[in-house]
Structure 1
Amino acid sequence: MVPAAIAASVPGSSPAARPAQSVRPTNPTPTPSAPNLSVEQLAIITTPDLPSLGTPDRFLPKPQPQMRLVIRLGARRVYVYENDRVKTSFPVAVGRPGWETPTGNYHVLQMIQNPAWQNPFTGEVIPSGRENPLGTRWIGFWTDGNNYIGFHGTPNEESVGTPASHGCIRMFDRDVQRLFEMVALGTPVSVVP
């Protein structure tokens, strides 16, 4: 068997091998004569509508604001910076003596809505809900491979503003929900004294 494409290319092997008939228009349409223009004039005519000089970035996407978080342990507040200006701040609880929040520069590693919590001492898992010590949001920024530290809500609202946690940054649930909407994975987090 010969493929159809090969058979078609052999003269006389199939009807498809016949030469095509020449077709000529009976009334050719005359081509209008082009105006006598210089190359520069033609370039002006054919150039698409571009922004005028002085506004070359007018049509480019706007840069996204650069967000970063600074936790001031002594002030017991987290400051949300947008392009190096404080956008807002929230009161927080920080690590209590013996469980201090580690200072340093980190990045947001995890973001979880309605997280479950596992008690690090007993292994008991508490599902999301009113009794969950993490509240409705978790924003993790530190880990040693076994343990995690991050921002979270709390049902124990009177602890906010005090050194009360095991190293985490506790927040009012409404505040951590707002913070959750402002940050993304990779957002820088600085913890300073």
Structure 2
Amino acid sequence: MLRATLLAVLAGACLQLEPVQARPADPIPPVAPWLSDAEALALLPTAVRSRSNKQLVLHRSSRQLILLEQGQLRLRVPAAVGTQGWETPLGEHRVLFKAVDPVWRHPGTGVVVPPGGRNPLGSRWIAFYQDCSNPGGWDGEKVVQVRGCSHVGLHGTPHRWTVGRAVSHGCVRLYDEHIRRVFDLVDVGTPVVVLP
């Protein structure tokens, strides 16, 4: 009798549950406003601006990538950065490796995309961060679990509309013509500073 009553209560409780609703896709973030060279440089800490080496500086909130050499502005381009929950990692990094016409492996499914117009990395890849903690999370549309180690880097994109927005899984997307220029101006070991 107790078992029958318990089953009836559980069945009744189950019948009263609301249907599970899928989380709606996140809205597309707006493009960051473009700043003048002087405004962009003023956002950088004096300690970063005064370094005598060549360095890439990503200012996440203004979504701009700046190449400084001997403290002078050499190049400044708009950039897409990591979305909420997949933020581009802050801190001091270095270029780990570079690739022309990279092959992309989807971090969640393992599907490989060869070089070409459908490759989300564009024509150039510059890695500056490695993460082997197998992070995962909401990608704006679904939950993704990363398999193995992943890298964060600078790369081109066939999705030009994303540049200037916070939409990536941590990588820094540039227009393909810009990543080609950056690729030729930096070497393995070049410092990469990511600021909030």
TM-score by length of 2: 0.65
* Deviation of 1:160 (Å): 0.1
Secondary structure at 2:121 match in 1 = coil
Q: Does 1:177 align with 2:164?
A: no
Specify the alignment match of 1:8 in structure 2: none
Higher relative contact order (CA 8 A, sep 6+): 2
Q: 1:17-42, CA deviations, whole angstroms, 9 ceiling, x for partnerless residues? A: xxxxxxxxxxxxxxxxxxxxxxxxxx
Larger-gyration structure (1/2): 1
- Match for 1:172: what amino acid? Y
**Which of 90, 94, 101 does residue 114 from structure 1 map onto?**
101
Secondary structure at 1:81 match in 2 = strand
**Which of 73, 94, 100 does residue 81 from structure 2 map onto?**
94
Q: 1:110-142, CA deviations, whole angstroms, 9 ceiling, x for partnerless residues? A: 100000000011100000000000000000000
Q: Distance in 2 between matches of 1:175 and 1:91?
A: 9
Q: Does 1:80 align with 2:67?
A: yes
- Match for 2:70: what amino acid? N
Q: Distance in 1 between matches of 2:88 and 2:188?
A: 20
Secondary structure at 1:120 match in 2 = coil
**How many positions carry a matched residue from both structures?**
129
TM-score by length of 1: 0.66
Q: Does 1:153 align with 2:140?
A: no
Q: Distance in 2 between matches of 1:100 and 1:68?
A: 21
Q: Distance in 2 between matches of 1:103 and 1:122?
A: 26
* Deviation of 1:66 (Å): 3.2
Specify the alignment match of 2:195 in structure 1: 192
* Deviation of 1:86 (Å): 1.1
- Match for 1:161: what amino acid? G
Secondary structure at 1:174 match in 2 = helix
* Deviation of 1:188 (Å): 0.3
Aligned Cα root-mean-square deviation (Å): 1.0
* Deviation of 1:84 (Å): 1.1
Q: 1:32-67, CA deviations, whole angstroms, 9 ceiling, x for partnerless residues? A: xxxxxxxxxxxxxxxxxxxxxxxxxxxxxxxxx831
